[in-house]
Amino acid sequence: MDAVRMHAPSPEQAAIVDAVLDYSRRRMLATDVPLDKPQSEAELNRLVGRTITDAGLGAQRALSVFEHILAPACLTTSHPLYLSFIPTAPTTAAIAFDLVVSASGLYGGSWLEGAGAVHAENEVLSFLAKEFGLPEGAGGVFVQGGTIGNLSALVAAREAAKAKLIAAGAELPQRWKIVCSIEAHSSNKSAAKVMDADVVLVPAGEDGVLRADAVRDALIEHGDAVCAVVATGGSTNFGIVDDISGIAALKDEFDFWLHIDGAYGLTAMLAPEARHIFAGVERADSVIVDPHKWLFAPFDCCALLYREPDAGRRAHTQHAEYLDTLTDTDEFSPSDYSIQLTRRPRGLPMWFSLATYGVDAYRDAIGATLSLTQQIAAEIAARPELKLVRDPQLSVVVFEREGWERAHYDRWSAALLDSQRAFVVPSSHKGRPNTRFAILNPLTTFDDLVGILDTMK
C-alpha cells in the first residue's frame, strides 16, 4: 500500500538505507574530498531538471542527482582550505553520530521524551561551564546557532532586568537598551531588532578591543534602561577578544547582566596558552559558544549557558494545556531555556566525539591551530608585499596586499576557487580592502597557507 510504503520495512527501504550509508561512508572516509563551488541557478535548472514528480525518481536516481550535481554545487565548509567566514571542522566521530541522532527518532525538547539524550547533552554543557569558570549549577541548552543563542540570552537578560525594576517599584524604561562594541557580531543587532530594543554601540579601541571605560560611560548615560552588556569573546572578522575582565569588574559598580558572545572564539579557553585572554568570563551571567565552529561538531550547534539557569527558564518556558505534563514538573526540559520549543538533541554528536577522543585531543587540536596562526602571521609580516592589518589574537589572520584594490582581490579569490586551490574571499576594514585566513581545521597546514600567499605575487 502506498500509505505505508514510505515507512514500513521492506526490500526497497533496505536498498535506500544501504545506498545512503554507502555514500555517507565514502564521503566521511575520503582523503580527497573536493572543495567544490557554486553553480548558477540557470545551470542547476539545466542539469537537474524536475526531481519532484508524482511517481518519484527512486532513491538511486535521486541520490545520483545529489552526489553528482547538487553536492558539487555546495562548498565543503569542512575542507582544510575553506578559510573564509568561520569554517567548520567536525570530527569523524561527530559526523558519524549525527547519522545516529537522525536514525534514532530522538526528540530533545523535554526530559520526559529524551532523558538519555538530555543527560548526555547536559554533561557536555557542565564540562563547558567548568572550562569557562562558571559556578557549579550553571547550565543551559544547545540551540541552532549563535544568533538564536544570543537572542535567547538577551531575552532572559531583559526579563531579569524587568523583574528587578518591578520588585523595586521603579518605572520601566520606554525602550530597553543593549550595550555592545561597534565591532560586535551582527546577530546582537538582529536580536535587539526582534526584541524591539535599542543597541548602544560603544567604540572599541584601535586594536578592536572594547574596554571598561567606554562601557562605564554607556552605563552611566543609559542607567536602568540597560538590560545587558555584551562582550565579545573573539570577533568574527578579526578574532579579537574584548577586555572581559575590565568589563566584568564593572559589576562591582553597576547592576547589569553580562553576556559573552563567544560563538567563535571562546573555544580557545580549552587551550592552556590562551586561557588568560578570557579572564572575567567566570563572572558572566550568560555565554554562548558554537561547537560547529572550533569545537569540531557538525552544523548546527550552539551551546547557551546561564550562570543561573532559572533565569533562562523564567524567560522561556512556554505554557499551554497540552504542555502541562511537562511544565508542572521540576524535571530539566531543554526547551525551557531558549526560544525554541521543538528541538533535536543537537549536542549529542559533540558528546559522542568528546567521549570517544577525550578532552586532551581537543586541547591539542585547538592549541595546534593557535600555533599555526602565529606561524603564518609571522610569514605574512616577513613578506614586503604583504601587511598584517592587526596582529592575530586567536586564529583569524587579516592582511593586505600592497597596491591591490578590491578588484584585484576579487580576481585572485575567484581564481583560487575556480582552480579548487582554496576558498579565501575578500574582506575590508575601515574602507580598505583586505583578505583573511580563518584557521580552524587541524588538517590545514603551513605549506597550504604559504602556497596561497605565493599566488599573491
Q: Please tell me whether the peptide bond between 300 and the residue prior to it is cis, using omega within 30 degrees of 0.
A: yes
Please determine, for residue 329, whether its predicted confidence score (pLDDT) is greater than 80: no
What pLDDT, on the 0 to 100 scale, is given for residue 327?
65
**Amino acid (1-letter code) at residue 124:** V
Task: Tell me the per-residue pLDDT of 189-222, one tens digit each, with 9 for 90 and over.
Answer: 999 999 999 999 999 999 999 999 999 999 999 9
Phi, psi of 52 (to 5 degrees): -95, 105
How many other CB atoms are found less than 10 A from the CB of residue 321? 6
Q: What is residue 83's predicted lDDT score, i.e. its pLDDT?
A: 98
Q: Which three cell numbers stand for residue 226?
A: 540597560
Q: pLDDT digits over 23-70, tens only?
A: 999 999 999 999 999 999 999 999 999 999 999 999 999 999 999 999
Q: pLDDT (tens digit, 9 = 90+) per residue, 74-116?
A: 999 999 999 999 999 999 999 999 999 999 999 999 999 999 9
The SS3 call for residue 402 is coil
171 within 8 A of 205, measured Cβ to Cβ: no
In one-letter notation, the amino acid at residue 130 is: K
Q: What would the DSSP string read from start to end of 299-352?
A: SS-EEEEESSHHHHHHHH----GGGHHHHTS-S--GGGGSS-SS---TTHHHHH
Can you give the residue ranges of every domain in the chain? 2-74, 99-357, 359-456
Judged against a pLDDT cut of 90, whether residue 324 lies above it is answered with no
Give Cα separations from 230 to 224, 241, 278, 366, 424 (angstroms): 16, 12, 14, 25, 29
Which residue blocks in 168-273 are alpha helix, DSSP H? 186-195, 212-222, 244-249
Q: How far does Cα 288 stand from its chain's mean position?
A: 9
Out of 3.40.50.300, 3.20.20.10, 1.10.240.10, 3.40.640.10, which CATH number does the structure's domain 99-357 have? 3.40.640.10
Q: pLDDT class for 321, splitting at 50, 70, 90?
A: low
Average pLDDT over residues 371-396: 98
Q: What is the pLDDT of residue 3?
A: 82
Helix 348-357 to helix 92-103 angle (10° resolution) is: 140
> Is it the case that residue 335 has pLDDT exceeding 90?
yes
Rg over alpha carbons for the chain, rounded to the nearest Å, is 24
Residue percentage of the chain with pLDDT more than 90: 94
Residue range 112-165, pLDDT digits in tens: 999 999 999 999 999 999 999 999 999 999 999 999 999 999 999 999 999 999
CA distance 407 to 268: 34
Task: Show the cell assigned to 201.
Answer: 554601540
Specify the pLDDT at position 272.
Answer: 97
- Residue 2's pLDDT is what? 76
For residue 322, pLDDT beyond 90: no
Residue 331: its pLDDT value, please? 83
Residue 413, all three cell numbers: 579569490
Q: Name residue 385's amino acid.
A: E
Give the pLDDT confidence of 437-453 residue by residue, as tens digits: 999 999 999 999 999 99
Q: How many residues does the chain have?
A: 457
Q: Into which CATH architecture does domain 359-456 fall?
A: Alpha-Beta Complex (3.90)
